[in-house]
């Protein structure tokens, strides 16, 4: 296993970042979403981008084969944004496909082979009905021992949630606090699939019921709403509807360059200073399913490479595919001690005005989870926050000089962590 401090062969800078809107788009295919993200990224490059400067492209995508009946996606994405004949490679590591594509882009520049690399991620999931999406996603679990025993992804994370509740003597309240926070953040993100806070959503539903002459629900708070099984039905106990990330279409793009040429693109680059990746077994053979070993390994590598500690990180986008996953992530990344992630969520310490804002974008929970794009989309949020361009959700009262992205594949069979610095 990788041990000791590793460093990149060359410095890496992020000089552009963009994304499509995330949501359900009947009339758009992967290629349309990718073009939207690419154009948004191109506009973000302060000094302009001549696309003939791009030397290679890495595309995170979990399964366009199953979702759209279209394999071999990377050269097609290259074609649609006018990059042929530059080499185009698809990267698949389940929901971590985007984060691992980023790491491949980093390694390609650090090796000295390329100076300018496009990293993208894309997934078009809503062509299929929910039950078929669930089956397709289950291909990212252990099909021999997990899917064949009836586990779906909500079921696998539900197992982690029950183990966590049992170990720390908790109910479901901390999960609900994660959902409230992330929907509140997503309400400030115009590109989020759910661009509404739960407070606004419940008020809108009351108005709808009144207009239709139906009984008006008596919810006063978000907790009333989340505790109402009619509004927030069970998916796999204890995970309810609002504990789950949605089924999403979307794409995101980043422009990476060798640090020494970053000034050709912008005077305000982000430096990518830490990268780590780990793997873990299926849930059934893990000694403890209240933590993700690959995340701990990836975080340790990234912190060591960056020369920073978890306490130095100002904001993080973490992989909240289910609310339980955010709690576990904040512990695996060292922000809180084991079992304390739940307490921190309850106390609002991970809210936008808390000591350690987590998922200011709305996270996968509210922004949406187009699985192959999610890891790249996380860095788009970091780009905006670090450059002070996050609009209504911009954190204004702090200097965001260090940020972290944490992207998980499966139940943690893969995890990749990246750390960014703004000087």
Binding residues (CB under 6 A) for ligand COA: these are 95, 130, 134, 137, 153-154, 235, 241-242, 244-247, 321, 369, 371
Nearer to ligand COA, 18 or 372 (CB): 372
Cβ neighbours for 6, distance < 8 A, ≥ 6 positions apart: 301, 304, 305
Q: Which of these is catalytic: 95, 244, 321, 415?
A: 95
CB of 64 to ligand COA, least distance (A): 16
The CA–CA distances, whole Å, from 94 to 60, 70, 215, 415, 416 equal: 9, 16, 43, 10, 12
Nearer to ligand COA, 319 or 387 (CB): 319
CB of 171 to ligand COA, least distance (A): 20
Q: Which of these is catalytic: 177, 319, 369, 406?
A: 369
Structural tokens at position 377: 């989309």
Nearer to ligand COA, 105 or 154 (CB): 154
Which residue number is nearest to ligand COA in terms of Cβ?
130
CB of 415 to ligand COA, least distance (A): 12
CB of 241 to ligand COA, least distance (A): 5
Nearer to ligand COA, 182 or 275 (CB): 182
Say if CB 412 and CB 97 are below 8 A apart.
no
> Is 369 noted as a catalytic residue in this protein?
yes
Nearer to ligand COA, 70 or 232 (CB): 232
HEC per residue, the chain = CCCCCCCCCCCEEEEEEEECCCECCCCCCHHHHHHHHHHHHHHHCCCCCCHHHCCEEEEECCCHHHHHCCCCHHHHHHHHCCCCCCCEEEECECECHHHHHHHHHHHHHHCCCCCEEEEEEEEECCCCCHHHHHHHHHCCCCCCCCHHHCCCHHHHHHHHHHHHHHHHCCCCHHHHHHHHHHHHHHCCCCCCCCCCCHHHHHHHHHHHHHHCCCCCCCCCCHHHHHCCCCCCCEEECCEEHHHECCCCEEEEEEEEEEHHHHHHCCCCCEEEEEEEEEECCCHHHCCCCCCCHHHHHHHHHHHHHHCCCHHHCCEEECCCCEHHHHHHHHHHCCCCCCCHHHHHHHCCCCCCCCCCCECCCCHHHHHCCCHHHHHHHHHHHHHHHHCCCCHHHCCCCCCCCEEEEEEEECCCCEEEEEEEECC
CB of 261 to ligand COA, least distance (A): 37
The CA–CA distances, whole Å, from 213 to 88, 200, 210, 220 equal: 56, 20, 5, 20
Nearer to ligand COA, 97 or 350 (CB): 97
Nearer to ligand COA, 100 or 247 (CB): 247
Nearer to ligand COA, 247 or 273 (CB): 247
> Is 183 noted as a catalytic residue in this protein?
no
CB of 54 to ligand COA, least distance (A): 30
CB of 72 to ligand COA, least distance (A): 23
Taking the CA of residue 363 as centre, how many other CA atoms within 13 Å lie in the half-sphere pointing to its CB?
A: 37
CB of 75 to ligand COA, least distance (A): 26
**Any idea which residues carry the catalytic annotation?**
95, 369
């Amino acid at each position: 296993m990788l041990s000791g401090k590793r460093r990149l062969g060359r410095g890496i800078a992020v000089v552009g970042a963009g994304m499509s809107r995330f949501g359900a788009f009947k009339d758009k295919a992967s290629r349309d979403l990718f073009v939207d993200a690419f154009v948004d990224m191109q506009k973000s490059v302060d000094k302009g981008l001549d696309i003939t400067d791009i030397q290679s492209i890495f595309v995170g995508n979990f399964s366009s084969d199953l979702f759209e009946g279209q394999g071999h996606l990377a050269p097609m994405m290259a074609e649609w944004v006018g990059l042929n004949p530059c080499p185009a490679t698809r990267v698949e590591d389940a929901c971590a496909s985007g984060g691992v594509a980023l790491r491949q882009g980093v390694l390609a520049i650090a090796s000295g082979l390329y100076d300018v690399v496009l990293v993208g991620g894309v997934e078009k999931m809503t062509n299929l009905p929910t039950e078929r999406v669930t089956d397709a996603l289950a291909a990212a679990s252990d099909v021999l021992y997990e899917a064949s025993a009836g586990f779906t992804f909500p079921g696998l994370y539900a197992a982690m949630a029950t183990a966590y509740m049992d170990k720390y003597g908790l109910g479901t309240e901390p999960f609900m606090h994660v959902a409230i926070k992330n929907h509140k953040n997503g309400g400030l993100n115009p590109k989020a699939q759910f661009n509404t806070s739960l407070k606004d959503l419940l008020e809108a539903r009351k108005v709808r019921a009144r207009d239709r002459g139906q009984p008006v629900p008596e919810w006063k708070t978000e907790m009333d709403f989340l505790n109402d099984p009619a509004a927030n039905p069970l998916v796999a106990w204890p995970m309810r509807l609002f504990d789950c990330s949605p089924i999403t279409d979307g794409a995101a793009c980043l422009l990476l360059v060798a640090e020494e040429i970053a000034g050709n693109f912008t005077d305000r680059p982000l430096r990518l200073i830490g990268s780590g990746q780990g793997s873990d077994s299926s849930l059934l053979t893990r000694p403890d399913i209240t933590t993700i070993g690959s995340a701990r390994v990836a975080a340790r590598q990234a912190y060591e490479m960056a020369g920073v500690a978890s306490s130095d990180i100002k904001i993080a986008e973490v992989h909240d595919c289910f609310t339980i996953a955010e709690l576990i992530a904040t512990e695996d990344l060292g922000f809180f001690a084991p079992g304390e992630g739940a307490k921190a969520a309850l106390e609002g310490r991970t809210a936008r005005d808390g000591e350690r804002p987590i998922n200011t974008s709305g996270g996968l929970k509210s922004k949406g989870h187009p699985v192959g794009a999610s890891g790249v989309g996380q860095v788009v949020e970091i780009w905006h926050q670090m450059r002070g361009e996050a609009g209504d959700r911009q954190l204004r009262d702090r200097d965001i000089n260090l940020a972290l992205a944490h992207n998980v594949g499966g139940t943690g069979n893969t995890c990749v962590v990246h750390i960014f610095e703004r000087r």
